[in-house]
Amino acid sequence: MGQILDGKGLANLLAGKLQQQVSELKEQGIEPLFCVINIGDDPGSKIYLRTKKKRAQEIGIAQKVYQLPADESQADLLALIDELNVNPQINGIMVQLPVPEQIDLNEALEHISPDKDVDCLTPSNVGRLWRGDHFVEPATAHGILALLKHYQINLRGKNVVIIGRSSIVGKPLAALMLEQDATVSILHLKTKNLSEYTKRADILVSAAGHAGLVTAEMIKQDAVVVDVGINRVNGRTVGDVNFDEVAPKASYITPVPGGIGPLTVESLMEQVVKLTRRNHGR
């Protein structure tokens, strides 16, 4: 049976350290504040917003949610972002995904100041990420690396396979792992014969959003398996990995829930504090 990579436990440990940093900032009259723009009534977004608010309160970070109607115009959204950009009290800005179809997400992200971009999704911050001189890191990717580091899983020279090429997980995770000298392959919906790649992986990360996608036959003995998938099946939350099948064959494996999810939220708070410190010359 593979050792469980306890993301929830690590998230709580890191949150305690972050809480101390926030307390020190407040003693200097600096209050970390980030704003979330949520457009429409996506159920998943509402759950995530509640989770972020709870964690922010525990750490001492102020969060303000701008709840916009589902028919919000592009022009009004951009005007709001511009307003938040120039407000010196606001240290971080993020647009909650997904957004309604009338919203041009790329244009909206381009409007966010790179100095307040907690998601690392503005074009300049994405470029810095791939160039290797980034300041912020996307929360999920940051959380995955923190978890591997905590369990002393070295990436240097390892074959890493990532299933999923999204801008918030797959692509930035590949960039960060390349920085640590891993050899990275990114798989996606058009990839033929996934198992040809996954069987060679020392570390397999699945962020496809497809329940039960990864089975025991797809991994090699003693692989490290990181499950980023969040899927609802028969009223239960499950990942992309068939946990019961894969766990006996893996050396390490993340559970769902309790693996990467809690670290994503905690990592977001880390980015908020980093930006707050930098924006105040700390």
Catalytic residues: 52, 96, 119
Contact criterion met (CB below 8 Å) for 205 and 226: yes
Contact criterion met (CB below 8 Å) for 14 and 149: no
Tell me the two tokens of residue 200: 């060679």
Q: What are phi and psi of 242, to 5 degrees?
A: -75, 90
To the nearest 10 degrees (0 to 180), the angle between helices 170-179 and 139-150 is: 40
Question: HSE-up of 125 (CA within 13 Å, CB side)?
Answer: 23
Rounded to an integer, what distance in angstroms lies between the CA atom of residue 56 and that of residue 43?
A: 20
